[in-house]
C-alpha cells in the first residue's frame, strides 16, 4: 500500500485520540517552540502534523503564522473541523514532505514529531533535509522528535528508524547546530510507553 493510502485509511478508520501517537496537548513541542522562537509573528510549520493538537496549542499562545503540512487529507480535515473558525488563520498543505514546494527561507521554525523516523531510505532522508535547508530561514530553528534508541521498531504497522540525539543530528549535517535534546516517555492511549527524543537545532546563519 502506498504511504498516502495508508495514512488516509488510518485517519478515516480510527478516532483521532485512539492512535498511539495521540497527545491531548503537545506540551514539550510547545515549550521548545516558545523557547526558541518567542516572537508571536514567527512563521512556524508543523510537518506531518496529522490531526495533532499542536496547532491548537500554538494558536492558544498567540502564534499568528502557523502552517500544518500532511500527506493525509483526512487528517487535515479533522484538525480543521476541531478548530472551526480558528483554523481559517492556519495555512493547510496537503503534500508529501519530500516533494512539497516551498518558497525559499519561508519559516523561522520547522517542527516534526514522529514523521522523519518513517523515512527508512537514505534517499528520502536526503530529500527531507534538502527541504529543511530550502524552507528554513538562515538562523532558523528545527525541532524534530523521533523514536529514541530504545523506542518501538514500528509505528502504525510501518517500520521506523530509531535515533540517539547525535545520530539524528548527523542526519541533518554541518549546516545545523544541535542546541539541546530531551527525552520523553510518551504514554500511549493503550497504556504503553514509547521513548521519544526531541532535538532542537539551529540552521547556520550563512
Q: Decide whether 25 or 204 has the Cβ nearer to ligand SAM.
A: 25
Minimum CB separation of residue 16 from ligand SAM in Å reads 9
Q: Can you give the chain as a three-state secondary structure string?
A: CCHHHHHHHHHHHCCCCCCCCCCCCCHHHHHHHHHHCCCCCCEEEEECCCCCCHHHHHHHCCCCEEEEEECCHHHHHHHHHHHHHHHHHCEEEECCCCCCCCCCCCEEEEEEECCHHHCCCHHHHHHHHHHHHHHEEEEEEEEEEEEECCCCCEECCEECCCECHHHHHHHHCCCEEEEEEEEEEEECCCCCEEEEEEEEEEECCC
Q: Decide whether 5 or 35 has the Cβ nearer to ligand SAM.
A: 5
CB count, 10 Å around CB of 101? 9
**∠ Cα 60 77 58 (to 5°):** 15
Minimum CB separation of residue 193 from ligand SAM in Å reads 16
Minimum CB separation of residue 175 from ligand SAM in Å reads 21
Q: Decide whether 3 or 121 has the Cβ nearer to ligand SAM.
A: 3
Q: Decide whether 48 or 148 has the Cβ nearer to ligand SAM.
A: 48
Q: Decide whether 158 or 179 has the Cβ nearer to ligand SAM.
A: 158
Minimum CB separation of residue 66 from ligand SAM in Å reads 14
Minimum CB separation of residue 37 from ligand SAM in Å reads 18
Q: Decide whether 174 or 190 has the Cβ nearer to ligand SAM.
A: 190
Interacting residue ranges for ligand SAM, rule: CB under 6 A = 3, 7, 21, 48-50, 52, 70-72, 75, 96-98, 113-115, 118, 155
Minimum CB separation of residue 19 from ligand SAM in Å reads 7
- Residue 59 CA to residue 7 CA, distance in Å, equals 25
**Scanning the structure block, which residue is given the C-alpha cell 500511549?**
188
Nearest position to ligand SAM, beta carbon: 50
Amino acid at each position: 500500500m502506498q504511504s498516502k493510502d495508508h495514512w488516509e485509511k488510518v485517519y478515516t478508520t480510527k478516532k483521532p485520540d485512539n492512535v498511539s501517537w495521540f497527545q491531548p496537548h503537545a506540551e514539550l513541542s510547545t515549550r521548545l517552540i516558545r523557547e526558541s522562537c518567542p516572537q508571536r509573528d514567527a512563521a512556524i510549520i508543523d510537518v506531518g502534523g496529522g490531526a495533532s493538537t499542536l496547532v491548537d496549542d500554538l494558536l492558544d499562545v498567540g502564534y499568528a503564522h502557523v502552517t500544518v503540512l500532511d500527506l493525509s487529507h483526512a487528517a487535515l480535515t479533522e484538525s480543521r473541523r476541531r478548530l472551526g473558525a480558528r483554523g481559517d488563520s492556519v495555512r493547510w498543505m496537503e503534500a508529501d514532505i519530500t516533494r512539497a514546494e516551498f518558497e525559499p527561507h519561508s519559516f523561522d521554525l520547522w517542527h516534526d514529531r514522529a514523521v522523519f523516523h518513517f523515512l527508512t531510505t537514505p534517499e528520502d532522508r536526503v530529500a527531507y533535509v534538502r527541504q529543511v535547508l530550502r524552507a528554513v530561514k538562515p538562523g532558523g530553528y528545527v525541532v524534530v522528535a523521533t523514536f529514541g534508541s530504545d523506542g518501538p521498531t514500528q509505528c502504525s504497522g510501518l517500520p521506523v528508524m530509531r535515533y540517539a540525539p547525535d545520530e539524528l543530528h548527523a542526519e541533518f549535517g554541518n549546516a545545523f547546530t544541535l542546541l539541546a535534546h530531551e527525552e520523553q516517555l510518551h504514554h500511549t492511549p493503550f497504556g504503553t510507553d514509547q521513548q521519544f527524543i526531541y532535538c532542537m537545532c539551529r540552521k547556520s546563519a550563512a
